[in-house]
Amino acid sequence: MEGTTDGVSADLPYELTASEALRAIRRRTLGVVELVRAVLDRIDAIEPQVRAWVMVDRAGALARARELERQFEDLSARPLFGIPVGLKDIYDARGLPTTAGFGPWRERMPPADATAVARLRQAGAIILGKTVTTQFAFADPPETRNPWNPERTPGGSSSGSAAAVAARMIPLALGSQTAGSILRPAAYCGVLGLKPTYGLVSRHGIVPLAWSLDHPGPIARSVEDLARVLGVLAGVDPCDPATRTARVGDYLAAVRHPGPPPVCLRLDDFFEAAEPLVSSQVSDALDLLARHGAEIRHARLVTDPRLVADAQQTIMQVEAAELHADLHAEMADHYAPRMRALVETGALVPATLYVRARRIAQRFRAEILALLADVDCLVLPTASNLAPDRSTTGDRRFQAPWSLIGFPALTIPAGLVDGLPCGLQVIAGLWQEERLFRIARWIEGVLPPLPAPRLGLRGGSVSMQ
Amino acid sequence: MEGTTDGVSADLPYELTASEALRAIRRRTLGVVELVRAVLDRIDAIEPQVRAWVMVDRAGALARARELERQFEDLSARPLFGIPVGLKDIYDARGLPTTAGFGPWRERMPPADATAVARLRQAGAIILGKTVTTQFAFADPPETRNPWNPERTPGGSSSGSAAAVAARMIPLALGSQTAGSILRPAAYCGVLGLKPTYGLVSRHGIVPLAWSLDHPGPIARSVEDLARVLGVLAGVDPCDPATRTARVGDYLAAVRHPGPPPVCLRLDDFFEAAEPLVSSQVSDALDLLARHGAEIRHARLVTDPRLVADAQQTIMQVEAAELHADLHAEMADHYAPRMRALVETGALVPATLYVRARRIAQRFRAEILALLADVDCLVLPTASNLAPDRSTTGDRRFQAPWSLIGFPALTIPAGLVDGLPCGLQVIAGLWQEERLFRIARWIEGVLPPLPAPRLGLRGGSVSMQ
């Protein structure tokens, strides 16, 4: 693969992407136990600075690594053979509690693996532990720090997953997005994140927030890794009816044949609404893509994107209120303030308002479908701003519209502004993840890679892509 | 075609099905003007007894008939060439008011044809006029009589369409179903009706009642006619986003190759909940199908069908309240009592309850999908009862579940009980209309045809199928 660093010094295996590590394991230049030990050592070294983990299953991960080393002949059929993965702490994984950041659930053991987790294990992945989530995957600020600046938020709600991947504590992690909870933390932390098409990945065994908006998805440091893990996760699951029409593609094949230079539609409304430094950084990235052959067209939306974000908010609060009615009745005092307000406000919304929000979504979906008829993808900044201070998890208005209508969205680092990462968000049509990966892989080859954040004993000089 | 009456005496052209009339026109044994005149004469003779029409466009229909006779060379490309069609008075048709049964809209002229109406015209159909709808296609009893007994309701809300087709005033009419408004009146009146898969037929230009539940569809006197008109109506329409994933089949080919004898799953819950006479009549019909080779299996639902009907009711009232908020604020006094109560109650429903209803729908959809995996169709009585008196439009609980989850449903006459018709309801999987037509055509060939209702000057001895 061009643009990868398969030749990286083997004494820093935690710096490898999942695909790079897999190739090293396949060549037998890296052992699975060796990789897991390196990752655990890295966590020991820098976790106190980042606080990305709820728990690390040291013994379980090492035992599984040893077991895999005895199954080396199965490697070719297992696209994540030996790869350590972090799980946002709303995913059920046998033997580990699922807390969802909720105090009373500290010891809550799940009955079985979530479907996504079972698929990861089947593919040879090693569940390394649980990463920090905001409470119930909503918006109350977590303890996790942004690896680029400990005073800034890593974003939320997949805070630990994004921070751990950015800090090179793990090559891959799963997150979830209801408004902007995969793409925003990925962008704030300078890594890649994917929110797949609604219904492509099963939610069975994942603590829900809002059933018509919840999307599981991966966070990683390369497009190839996102494609690799999506190939493992995607598909119909009888336990999640939303997946019944899932259309799965060959994602790894797509990243192996990137390009041609895409036709991108730049959504000007978002560039105008973003902070000027973000807007100009992402515009510069698009200019660079254009110089390499991409065609950048401009569009302005008919449906006000602020209205769309409000519609997403209404639907989210109502569905959260419905899901939490019983638990909130029993344990309101244990709820974090923003989550509590979400549920309590949601219970007051009249159904006619919810339906109006759905109709706004339908109109917006039709508009986006029409826009995508003539181009390969839409492009906009992933967030309106750089990671703000830790009193908030950031601004979800740029990610929420795509969660509302279920279209796939991918964020890719577009450089640093004032020492903080900035993301370029790429949107494709429903079930068009193959196309999205081809485009993203092409973009990844054009944009300059981010350095790693300065962290820990080895911090500062590590460049990964 | 076996089972049809193409040899019927040409002096009763209003008794022909649409497909029979089309073949006679093609053979030049029936003229288009002659057919329209016969239909108009029939309406003159019996409309005072039935009251199925809001308005009949006598001059427009005759002018169009004359025009078509000059375009005879286009016949083969037009599957409804010269066929008079009635439109439930919620469909926009240029030049005719769309009243939706609402007093203040008596003169309300539409800007253009509904998409469905434009497609009918393109296929050579002649718009004969507007048939009676309950106000806004809800449940306030209309003036229309049941052709089998003037003291009974024809059912609703497509009351005039079903009564006009049953009374041989028109071979084909369009209706719409939000709870049970196509299948119930068709069953009560002893004709056939189809509610296609949600999103197969455009609603653009049709007065809505509840956007996630509204289904346009045809009422006719043969399976072939339903298939013929669905072939004209079905397809993607950019003006109705719900149609964006429509999957269209070759419906006429399906009825030309009916059978083999289907594997039917009998939903016992509905047979137990139906009035005993209805239950035993429909059971007898299934016994007859079994003697001709159909396999009848039994199933009981996990999801209580009463809960499903309640969920449909909640969603309908909320969506109606949302749609009618402005009009009701201005003109509440013009609303009929049940429609007014629907809108006013709907405005009080909390959104969490609406979402809970949606989740019941999702669970029920998953259950029905699983049941359909092993059989060709589900069977149940179309309604729990025979047409009741005119103080109501009847019982929608047996039709509403299929409107809620969007699966195609077809009713076919299953004989008379106490002189009133009874319907057999057949349900197939999403987008499985071809299969549904093959099954229905096979059933139509096995079940004894209903006689025509006794009406008008010629009433009593006319048998049509």
Q: What is the pLDDT of residues A345-400, one digit of tens each?
A: 999 999 999 999 999 999 999 999 999 999 999 999 999 999 999 999 999 999 99
Average of per-residue pLDDT values in chain A: 94
Cα–Cα distance, A361 to A347 (Å, whole number): 21
Cβ–Cβ below 8 Å for A350 and B348: yes
Number of H helices, E strands in chain B: 15, 11
**N-to-C CA span, chain B:** 11
What's the confidence (pLDDT) of residue A40? 98
DSSP state of B153: -
Cα–Cα distance, B52 to A103 (Å, whole number): 65
Residues sharing a CB contact under 8 Å with residue A7, sequence separation 6 or more, in sequence order: none
Cβ–Cβ below 8 Å for A318 and B355: yes
Cβ neighbours of B266 (radius 10 Å) = 18
Q: How many CA atoms lie within 13 A of A116 on its CB side?
A: 30
Q: Which amino acid is at B123?
A: A
Cα–Cα distance, B348 to A410 (Å, whole number): 40
In B333-419 the beta strands, taken as DSSP E runs, fall at 377-381, 409-417
- Rounded to an integer, the average pLDDT of A308-327 is 97
> What would the CATH number be for the domain defined by A13-301+359-446?
3.90.1300.10
- Rounded to an integer, the average pLDDT of A81-107 is 98
User: What backbone torsions phi and psi does residue A370 show, to the nearest 5 degrees?
Assistant: -65, -40
As beta bridge partners, residue A96 has A93
Residue from B352, B362, B405, B431 whose CB has the most chain A CBs within 10 Å, to mutate: B352
As beta bridge partners, residue B55 has B130
- Rounded to an integer, the average pLDDT of A102-112 is 97
What's the confidence (pLDDT) of residue A25? 96
What pTM was estimated for this model as a whole?
A: 0.87
Nearest residue to B464 via CA among B456, B447, B452, B448: B452
What's the confidence (pLDDT) of residue A456? 55
DSSP state of B97: -
**Cα–Cα distances in Å, from A134 out to A95, A103, B209, B239?**
22, 12, 41, 41
DSSP string, B431-461: T-HHHHHHHHHHHHHHSPPPBPPP-TTTTTS
Phi/psi region, residue A385 (left: phi>0; alpha: psi -120 to 50; beta: rest), is beta
In chain B, what are the domain boundaries?
13-302+358-446, 305-355
Report the percentage of chain A scoring pLDDT > 70.
95
A130 flagged as catalytic = no
Cβ–Cβ below 8 Å for B321 and A352: yes
What's the confidence (pLDDT) of residue B455? 82
CATH fold of B13-302+358-446 reads Amidase signature (AS) enzymes (3.90.1300)
Q: pLDDT below 70 — which residues of chain B?
A: 1-11, 456-465
Residues of B in contact with A359 (CB under 8 A): 211, 322
DSSP string, B255-277: HHS--SPPEEEEEHHHHHHS-HH
What's the confidence (pLDDT) of residue B456? 55
List the alpha helices (DSSP H) in B51-122: 58-69, 115-122
Using an 8 Å Cβ cutoff, are B146 and B189 in contact?
yes
Confidence at A33, pLDDT banded by 50, 70, 90: very high
Q: Which residue of A has its CA nearest to B364?
A: A241
Q: Which residue of B has its CA nearest to A363?
A: B241
Using an 8 Å Cβ cutoff, are B316 and B322 in contact?
no
Nearest residue to A395 via CA among A162, A181, A80, A177: A181
pLDDT single digits (tens) A423-438:
999 999 999 999 999 9
pLDDT single digits (tens) A159-174:
999 999 999 999 999 9
What's the confidence (pLDDT) of residue A219? 98
Using an 8 Å Cβ cutoff, are A5 and A464 in contact?
yes
Residues of A in contact with B355 (CB under 8 A): 211, 318-319, 322, 354
Distance from CA of B192 to the nearest CA of A (A): 31
Q: How many CA atoms lie within 13 A of B137 on its CB side?
A: 33
What's the confidence (pLDDT) of residue B258? 81
**Which one from A88, A202, A384, A403 is the annotated catalytic residue?**
A88
pLDDT single digits (tens) B304-332:
999 999 999 999 999 999 999 999 999 99
DSSP string, B286-317: HHHHHHTT-EEEEE--SS-HHHHHHHHHHHHH
- Rounded to an integer, the average pLDDT of A183-201 is 98
What's the confidence (pLDDT) of residue A11? 57
Using an 8 Å Cβ cutoff, are A426 and A377 in contact?
yes
pLDDT single digits (tens) B242-292:
998 899 999 999 999 887 999 999 999 999 999 999 999 999 999 999 999
Confidence at A8, pLDDT banded by 50, 70, 90: very low
